Structure formats: C-alpha cells, structure tokens
C-alpha cells in the first residue's frame, strides 16, 4: 500500500473518538486483512505500540491477520439462524469447498480458505437479518432462507465450479 493511500485513510478520522478502530476497519475492508507492514507503519503514525494494534486486531472479530480468499462466505451464527439450521450450512460449505476445521478451532469461530484462495468461509455473530434465517453473506450480498440445497447455486454465482472442488 502506498503512503498516500494510508494518509488518506488516516485523514478520514479527524476526531479521536473511534479513530484507531475506524482506521483499522478501513484497512481491513480495502485489503481483506491487516498486513503486518501496514500495522507497523500505522503504529508509527498513530504513536501507539505495535503490540497494542496487535491486541486490537486479535480482540475484535472484524479483523484478520491473514489474507482472505477472493470471496468471503460468512455464515450467520445468530440464535434464529442456529435454530433454523445454520450448522448444516457450515457443514455443507465445508464439504463443497473441501476445507476442514482443525481441532483447535472447531468451537465457535473459524476462518477457512480454499487452496486456490477463491473462497474463505467464516462465521459472524448476527447480521440482524433474523427474519430470513438462516442467513449467509457472500462478500456484501446477503442471502436469506438458505438451505443446504441452495448453496451450490449461490457459490456458482461467485465462480465456483462443482467438478473442481467437489470432495468425494
């Protein structure tokens, strides 16, 4: 990232309220993660220790320290979605995209990227779209009333090809 771009982002936050998190959120949105060199640069600009930025990046679920795939599939894990079958959606996604949850992350949060970096699947607490539960989001597009059978069609809209990824 060039310095001008980072200057522009930092410049968007004249007030100190919400400044640091706001800047990190913008970086996360533009890059899909928080690159280490940018965090180092920001630490200098904002005059905060790098360890503090690391602490924020790992405390808040919005941030990731590793790059995400081209498309991010986020399954809502809210109560209504859970009651209406969100766990089955996660299972289906894992199967279709051929990614596995390792032992250490099998509880709660997960962040899984396919080998070709095309998709990342993850979970969110609640999108507040509970009326159409279960809900998942691909990038910025929300899909409601999702069933496992509908997932292949949704993924295809984002460039997924059945034969390439199908696990047997």
Interface ranges with other proteins (CB under 8 A): 15-22, 24-25, 48, 55-56, 59-63, 77-84, 107-109, 124-133, 135, 140, 142-144
Residue 44 phi/psi, 5-degree rounding, is: -70, -50
Residue 130 DSSP one-character state: G
The CB-of-163 to other proteins minimum distance in angstroms stands at: 30
Helix (H, G, I), strand (E, B) or coil at 62: coil
The CB-of-167 to other proteins minimum distance in angstroms stands at: 26
**E strand segments, 7-159:** 71-76, 111-113, 119-124, 136-138, 141-143
Closest CB to other proteins among residues 59, 103: 59
Closest CB to other proteins among residues 20, 39: 20
The CB-of-42 to other proteins minimum distance in angstroms stands at: 12
Q: Do 77 and 54 touch, CB atoms closer than 8 A?
A: no
Closest CB to other proteins among residues 98, 132: 132
Cis amide linkage into residue 134, ω under 30° from 0: yes
**E strand segments, 14-140:** 71-76, 111-113, 119-124, 136-138
Closest CB to other proteins among residues 61, 166: 61
CA atoms within 13 A on the CB side of 12: 14
The CB-of-30 to other proteins minimum distance in angstroms stands at: 14
Closest CB to other proteins among residues 114, 120: 120
The CB-of-165 to other proteins minimum distance in angstroms stands at: 26
């Amino acid at each position: 990232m060039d310095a001008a771009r980072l200057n522009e982002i930092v410049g968007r936050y004249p007030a100190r309220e919400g400044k640091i998190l706001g800047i990190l959120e913008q970086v996360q949105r533009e890059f899909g993660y928080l690159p280490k060199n940018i965090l180092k640069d920001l630490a200098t600009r904002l005059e905060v220790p790098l360890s503090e930025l690391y602490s924020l990046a790992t405390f808040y679920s919005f941030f990731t320290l590793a790059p995400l795939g081209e498309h991010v599939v986020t399954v809502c894990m809210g109560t209504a979605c859970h009651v209406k079958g969100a766990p089955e959606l996660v299972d289906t996604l894992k199967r279709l995209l051929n990614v596995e949850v390792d032992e250490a992350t099998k509880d709660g949060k997960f962040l899984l990227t396919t080998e070709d970096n095309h998709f990342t699947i993850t979970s969110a607490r609640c999108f507040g779209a509970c009326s159409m539960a279960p809900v998942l989001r691909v990038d910025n597009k929300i899909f409601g009333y999702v069933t496992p059978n509908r997932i292949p069609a949704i993924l295809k809209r984002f460039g997924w090809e059945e034969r390439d990824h199908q696990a047997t």
